[in-house]
Amino acid sequence: MFDTASVYGNEVHIKNAFSVLLPKYGLEREDIFITTKLYHGGGELTEKACQQSLDNLGVDYVDLYLIHFPGSAKIPADDKRNREMREMTWSKLTELYDDGRMNALGVSNFTIRHLKDLMKCNHGVVPAVNQVEWHPYYHQNSLYKYCKANDIVLQAYCSLGGTSASNTALLNDPVVVRTAKKLEATPAQILLVWALQQDIAIIPKSITPERIKENFSLNFKIPDEDMKALQQLGENNVKYAWDPSIIA
């Protein structure tokens, strides 16, 4: 799986990597899963941005296309035009979905309020995924329940805490470290399994081969008492990434 976004500025680099690696390993387009994200939307801008991402990636379709954020840098956070923009964007995306430019549609950083607004005018297409910040320091049980009830997959980013490799507070948390020692795992593996045991999809990233292997070695279960202890770390509500709740 490859998770990217127009705002990351690396879609073309991914295309270049595909052109080398897919033939090298005998893989076809259908063998990989590509997610990318729309940063700004509304009307015709949505189609233009989507096609630009497809061209950048060198593909005819993506497997999952997400609205990256419920607001726009060009609209004040408390402006009701944010809601109108989301509605216009989703309307256009459903047309592109019907046109075969993506296999599934979803959102990112949407709160329950944003999701409810969208569900009222979803044009018959329910978001397949809501990609949000999710880790033991910050997890939203009400959002979890809402997505479960509406068959929306929650997908976690910042699973290991922080937005950079230098922020290791969660990885070094005594509860996480203690659980890792008990289960003979790494702190990172504990955090990933903690999410998976709640049916939260994960997209950990690493450029280190050994850590990539670790991220795939998650065939163990965290006991209930340890899951509860990890869950309680969220009482301080430590958030690392942007706050979408301020968007109207």
Phi, psi of 36 (to 5 degrees): -140, 175
Asked if 98 and 128 touch (Cβ cutoff 8 Å), the reply is no
> Which residue is listed with tokens 């991402």?
53
Distance between CA 161 and CA 168 in Å, rounded?
Answer: 7
> 36 - beta bridge partners?
65
Q: H helices within 107-158, ranges in order?
A: 112-119, 141-149
Dist. CA 230–CA 151, nearest whole Å = 25
How far is the C-alpha of 101 from the C-alpha of 84, rounded, in Å?
A: 23
User: CA 74, 79, 82: angle at the middle one, nearest 5?
Assistant: 65
Active-site amino acid positions: 8
Q: Is 68 marked within a binding site?
A: yes
- C-alpha pair distances (Å), 16 with each of 6, 23, 53: 16, 12, 14
Binding residues for substrate: 68
Binding residues: 68
